[in-house]
Copies of this chain bind each other. A is one copy, B any other.
């Protein structure tokens, strides 16, 4: 543990655009945020570009940059992100795919890429595949995700990501299940493709007679009798934050994607059933868990709240205001229960989700870094307009990550 500790609250989709019904104010400007205002006044403020000005980002890229990574260098692909979301801690030799439970017929034609959007039984089906042994000692890890999705990891030294997907990824008409083929001339790719095809064959043998599928057939539903693979990737390019900076880091979240990215970059994750990643997530419990992480001695704790993003997607500014006020309540708990003399408390979002657009936008995100030893912008009102002239405006999320670590006095020196 260093002398100072950091706590960052990530309000997903926080930023917005002027809303005529709010007199041209944004939800953050309209919300009553006395606790955010208290912290903003004690530090640096600004509207921060997640990646590059004007470019919207997804949740994955938006969190990679908050955690200090360059997505042009380290973006590991969807397979590994989903594996970590499913709770598989990938090693450097592993390769991961996004999997879909799907329906094939006896001619190996894909009848339904999502097995009728199968919603229950995937836990049992994944368990039937998890731990599968393939030729030559390779092993398969399989963990269920939401709906028809399943994370598939191949574990063995000497595997390659230079292989084609087995998901035909076309909707609306039947196609033959594609074989996996190597995309370069290496022995590793040839062997990996052969393992993937062995996996497909074994999948069908394990899944077709599974009780879940017998039940589905009895109910007239398409059986989930194969797993289609795409989005292959590995994680060897990601150096965990803890290794880069000799820090202990925690992430309190409910959203599976955020938990996955946090695990990928080496944060210890804290999750319980009341953290739903939804609009009704228990924010007070999340705040208490974050306070507990600081008290346990983590150098940097991040706590994620999904709600503002969901309200932006729904085009619901009034609900967004309500959730922002609940988030302000979390800052109220931080204010009362943390040692403000030695905690650097920050707010940001992974991107803006304007209610007007109903989707992520490239608008920069209201952000502050606050503490007794942080220079002060003297901006005592939280909002996109008031933060415009703050010191952090024009910086990127990666800059803000480094600035937080620098305020904790742990950022390594460039040069001597």
Interface string of A375-416 (1 = CB under 8 A from B): 111100000110011010111000111111110010111111
CB neighbours of A318 from chain B (8 A): none
- List the B residue with the shortest CB-CB distance to A64: B415
Compute how far the CA of A413 lies from the CA of B54 in the bound complex, rounded to whole angstroms: 10
Compute how far the CA of A61 lies from the CA of B416 in the bound complex, rounded to whole angstroms: 7
Interface string of A1-28 (1 = CB under 8 A from B): 0000000000000000110100010100
The reply to whether the CB of A374 lies closer than 8 angstroms to some CB of chain B is yes
The reply to whether the CB of A56 lies closer than 8 angstroms to some CB of chain B is yes
The reply to whether the CB of A55 lies closer than 8 angstroms to some CB of chain B is yes
Q: Count copies of this chain in the complex.
A: 2
CB neighbours of A372 from chain B (8 A): 18, 20
Contact at B399–A54, with CB atoms within 8 Å? yes
CB contacts under 8 Å to B, within A326-384, are 354, 356-357, 359-364, 372-378, 384
8 Å CB contact of A363 from B57, B375, B412: B375
CB neighbours of A52 from chain B (8 A): 399, 402
CB contacts under 8 Å to B, within A71-86, are 71, 75, 78
8 Å CB contact of A357 from B75, B409, B416: B409
Given A359-B409, A375-B363, A375-B385, are A55 and B414 neighbors across the interface (CB < 8 Å)? yes
The reply to whether the CB of A62 lies closer than 8 angstroms to some CB of chain B is yes
CB neighbours of A71 from chain B (8 A): 414-415
Given A375-B384, A375-B385, A406-B362, are A57 and B18 neighbors across the interface (CB < 8 Å)? no
The reply to whether the CB of A59 lies closer than 8 angstroms to some CB of chain B is yes
The reply to whether the CB of A300 lies closer than 8 angstroms to some CB of chain B is no
8 Å CB contact of A362 from B58, B385, B393, B402: B402
CB neighbours of A413 from chain B (8 A): 56-58, 359-360
The reply to whether the CB of A60 lies closer than 8 angstroms to some CB of chain B is yes
The reply to whether the CB of A211 lies closer than 8 angstroms to some CB of chain B is no
Compute how far the CA of A356 lies from the CA of B400 in the bound complex, rounded to whole angstroms: 20
8 Å CB contact of A388 from B20, B363, B377, B403: B377
- List the B residue with the shortest CB-CB distance to A72: B414
Contact at B415–A363, with CB atoms within 8 Å? no
Given A54-B405, A58-B414, A395-B53, are A354 and B376 neighbors across the interface (CB < 8 Å)? no
The reply to whether the CB of A33 lies closer than 8 angstroms to some CB of chain B is no
Contact at B375–A54, with CB atoms within 8 Å? no
CB neighbours of A395 from chain B (8 A): 53, 394
8 Å CB contact of A391 from B47, B61, B361: B47
Measured CB to CB, the closest approach of chain B to A333, in angstroms, equals: 25
8 Å CB contact of A393 from B61, B391, B399, B411: B391
Given A362-B411, A384-B375, A415-B75, are A406 and B55 neighbors across the interface (CB < 8 Å)? yes
- List the B residue with the shortest CB-CB distance to A405: B54
CB neighbours of A97 from chain B (8 A): none
Compute how far the CA of A389 lies from the CA of B379 in the bound complex, rounded to whole angstroms: 12
CB neighbours of A17 from chain B (8 A): 373-375
- The contact sample of 23 A-B pairs, CB cut-off 8 A, is A17-B373, A17-B375, A18-B372, A18-B373, A18-B375, A18-B376, A47-B391, A54-B402, A54-B411, A55-B402, A55-B411, A56-B412, A57-B415, A58-B416, A59-B415, A60-B415, A61-B414, A61-B415, A64-B415, A360-B413, A362-B411, A389-B389, A394-B394
Chain A interfacial positions (CB closer than 8 Å to B)? 17-18, 20, 24, 26, 47, 51-62, 64, 71, 75, 78, 354, 356-357, 359-364, 372-378, 384-385, 388-389, 391, 393-395, 399-406, 409, 411-416
